[in-house]
Amino acid sequence: MRSELKGRDLLSLRDLSRQEIELIFEATTELKTLAKMGHFPKLLDGKTLAMVFQKTSTRTRVSFEVAMAHLGGHALFLSANDLQLRIGETILDTARVLGRYVDGIMARVFAHQDVVDLAEGSRAPVINGLSDFTHPCQGLTDFYTILEHKGKLSGLTIAYVGDGNNVANSLIFGGTLLGLHVRLGTPSKYRPPDEVLKKASEFAAISGGSLEIFEDPRKAVQDADVVYTDTWVSMGQEKEKEERLKVFKPYQLSTDLLKHAKKDAIVMHCLPAHRGLEITDEVMDGPQSVIFDQAENRLHVQKAILALLL
Ligand code: CP
Ligand code: NVA
């Protein structure tokens, strides 16, 4: 697909414009519609994507691999443990080499700086498949899913309850770029970093969206169109598990909490979910949940991203 995104990296939604996000959504609709009719245009014939994983994954790994297969390309799964990274080869050198073999690199890392270094070293575009700072492919999928279910984005209120983590950061960047009112219900110690809040207020001033942070999850959820949560213990935070489970308990997305949202509010979770912790079975499997549509859309949105960038 020809586009101004060709050759660009996708490290964070803060690097995209509203028009570029809309372009990705248009391509997603086209590819999803074709796929539902059994058509898989071979837009990446002969192209290869390296997928570097420092952390475990179900959705990101499988959806990217299937996306490349649908588009006629090839995906290589590379566990960081099996690469020479393990014996100390630098990220930058790894990127310089991979970038000469493949047409794109998707990486899931701990430190965000690692995807920045990959992008610096690689000739081929780099896609962030989750870092400790942000999860842009998830964020794009989330807004695409909201658009499908609500028919619009601008002016909607999305409430995120729980940890101010990588997924929250993507929702904040994307939401304020796209003109949504983003509300966070999170304990003060777990708010997103100031750099995220500052960027969000710049985006909101242009888009007409907003960002508000509440300590009380009920206030965050009040009259929201979308209610979103994620794990209280992200990958790499296992040592803090005990404290986190205590602090976040009042932020559980339960039927009681959901009652404060609009009657037709949709419920979202990036998955994997910890049922009985951040979300109850009743809400996760209830009529307002679009969680598995959201998971499916990772495939369609990432096909668009790959077709536009590679
Ligand atoms: N949501 C998400 O990125 O899932 P995985 O960790 O399974 O890739
Ligand atoms: N916040 C979670 C998201 C997993 C997809 C984590 O980083 O582990």
pLDDT at 246: 98
Reduced to 3 states (helix: H, G, I; strand: E, B; else coil), residue 305 is helix
Asked about 18 being catalytic, the answer comes back as no
48-53 vs 126-128, strand pairing mode: unpaired
Reduced to 3 states (helix: H, G, I; strand: E, B; else coil), residue 229 is strand
Please check whether residue 232 is in contact with residue 278, taking contact to mean a CB–CB distance below 8 angstroms.
yes
Q: Is 184 in the pocket of ligand 2 (CB under 6 A)?
A: no
CA 58 / ligand 1 centre spacing (Å)? 6
Asked about 298 being catalytic, the answer comes back as yes
The residues, ordered by sequence, that sit 6+ positions from 242 with a Cβ below 8 Å of its Cβ are none
Asked about 135 being catalytic, the answer comes back as yes
- Residue 264 predicted with pLDDT over 90: yes
Q: Is 163 in the pocket of ligand 2 (CB under 6 A)?
A: no
Spatial separation of the C-alpha atoms in residues 40 and 212, rounded to whole Å: 42
State the average pLDDT for the chain.
98
Ligand having the closest approach to the CA of 142:
1
Domains, the chain: 13-134+298-309 (3.40.50.1370), 137-295 (3.40.50.1370)
Spatial separation of the C-alpha atoms in residues 58 and 26, rounded to whole Å: 26
Percent of the chain with pLDDT over 90: 99
Identify the active-site residue in 163, 183, 230, 288: 230
Separation of first and last alpha carbons in the chain? 9
The pLDDT confidence band at residue 298, using thresholds 50, 70 and 90, is very high
- Residue 268 predicted with pLDDT over 80: yes
β-bridge partners, 49: 75, 104
Spatial separation of the C-alpha atoms in residues 296 and 105, rounded to whole Å: 22
User: What is the number of the ligand 1 atom nearest to the C-alpha of 135?
Assistant: 3
Asked about 230 being catalytic, the answer comes back as yes
Angle at 228 between CA 224 and CA 233, to 5 degrees: 145
User: What is the number of the ligand 2 atom nearest to the C-alpha of 233?
Assistant: 8
CA 205 / ligand 1 centre spacing (Å)? 31
Spatial separation of the C-alpha atoms in residues 247 and 32, rounded to whole Å: 40
Average pLDDT estimate for 157-174: 98
CA 272 / ligand 1 centre spacing (Å)? 6
CA 39 / ligand 1 centre spacing (Å)? 26
Question: Is pTM beyond 0.85 here?
Answer: yes
pLDDT at 164: 98
Please tell me the residue having the least CA distance from ligand 1 atom 7: 58
Q: Which of 126, 122, 149, 153 is nearest to 137 (CA)?
A: 126
Say if residue 272 is exposed, middle or buried (CB neighbours under 10 Å; 0-12, 13-18, 19+).
middle
Backbone angles phi, psi at 161, to 5 degrees: -115, 135
H/E segment holding residue 108: strand 104-108
For a mutational test of ligand 2's pocket, the pick from 167, 271, 274, i.e. the residue with the most ligand atoms closer than 8 A to its C-beta, is 167
- For residue 124, the number of C-alpha atoms closer than 13 Å in the C-beta half-sphere is 22
Q: Is 52 in the pocket of ligand 2 (CB under 6 A)?
A: no
Please tell me the residue having the least CA distance from ligand 2 atom 8: 234
Asked about 137 being catalytic, the answer comes back as no
What lines the ligand 1 site, CB under 6 Å?
A: 57-60, 130, 138, 270-272
Q: Is 270 in the pocket of ligand 2 (CB under 6 A)?
A: yes
What is the DSSP annotation of 21-85? HHHHHHHHHHHHHHHHTT----TTTT-EEEEEESS--SHHHHHHHHHHHHTT-EEEEEEGGGSGG
Q: Residue 234 corresponds to which amino acid?
A: S
Please tell me the residue having the least CA distance from ligand 1 atom 4: 59
Identify the active-site residue in 138, 252, 294, 302: 138
Q: What is the pLDDT of residues 102-157, one digit of tens each?
A: 999 999 999 999 999 999 999 999 999 999 999 999 999 999 999 999 999 999 99
Q: Which of 162, 127, 138 is nearest to 51 (CA)?
A: 127
- Residue 2 predicted with pLDDT over 90: no
- For residue 285, the number of C-alpha atoms closer than 13 Å in the C-beta half-sphere is 6
